[in-house]
Amino acid sequence: MLKLSVSALHLCQHCPRLLGYFLEKNGKAWRIGHKGSGKLPGKYFHYISRKVHSDISGRGDQEKRQKLINAFGKPSKTRSSFVLETIKMEYFYPYLLDHGIKFGPDNAIALGAAMKVWSNYLCEMVTPHIDIGEKPDVVIRMVFQDASPMMKTEFITIDGTKVLVRGSTDGILFDITENTPIIVEYKGKMASNPTQELIQTALYSKMFYQNTGLFPGVHVLYLEEEEPLIRYSVDQIKTIIKGVPQLVERAKDVASGKRPILGTLDKNLCKQCFFFEQCEEKFGR
Binding region for ligand SF4 (CB under 6 A) out of 56-64, 79-87, 250-258, 268-276: 268-276
**Residue in 6, 8, 12, 17 binding ligand SF4, rule: CB under 6 A:** 17
**Residue in 6, 9, 18, 147 binding ligand SF4, rule: CB under 6 A:** 18
269 counts as binding ligand SF4 under rule CB under 6 A: yes
27 CB burial (10 A radius; 0-12, 13-18, 19+): exposed
9 counts as binding ligand SF4 under rule CB under 6 A: no
- Alpha carbons 10 and 262: distance in angstroms, whole number: 16
Residue count (the chain): 285
**Residue in 128, 192, 276, 284 binding ligand SF4, rule: CB under 6 A:** 276
**Which residue type, as a one-letter code, is found at position 81?**
S
First to last CA, the chain: 28
28 counts as binding ligand SF4 under rule CB under 6 A: no
264 counts as binding ligand SF4 under rule CB under 6 A: yes
DSSP annotation string for 232-244: E-HHHHHHHHTTH
| Residues near 91 by beta carbon (within 8 Å), at least 6 away in sequence | 48, 51, 52, 64
254 counts as binding ligand SF4 under rule CB under 6 A: no
Choose between 43 and 271: whose C-beta lies nearer to ligand SF4. 271
15 counts as binding ligand SF4 under rule CB under 6 A: yes
23 counts as binding ligand SF4 under rule CB under 6 A: no
Rounded to a whole number of angstroms, the minimum distance from the CB of residue 272 to ligand SF4 is 8
Neighbouring CB atoms inside 10 A of 272's CB total: 11
Choose between 54 and 264: whose C-beta lies nearer to ligand SF4. 264
**Residue in 237, 270, 281, 284 binding ligand SF4, rule: CB under 6 A:** 270
Question: Contact letters (x/-) for ligand SF4, 120-159, by CB under 6 A?
Answer: ----------------------------------------
Q: Which residues of 217-244 are buried (b: 16+ CB within 10 A; e: fewer)?
A: bbbbbbbbeeebebebebeebeebbeeb
| Residues near 42 by beta carbon (within 8 Å), at least 6 away in sequence | 36, 188
Q: Contact positions toward ligand SF4, by CB under 6 A?
A: 15, 17-18, 32, 263-264, 269-270, 273, 275-276, 279
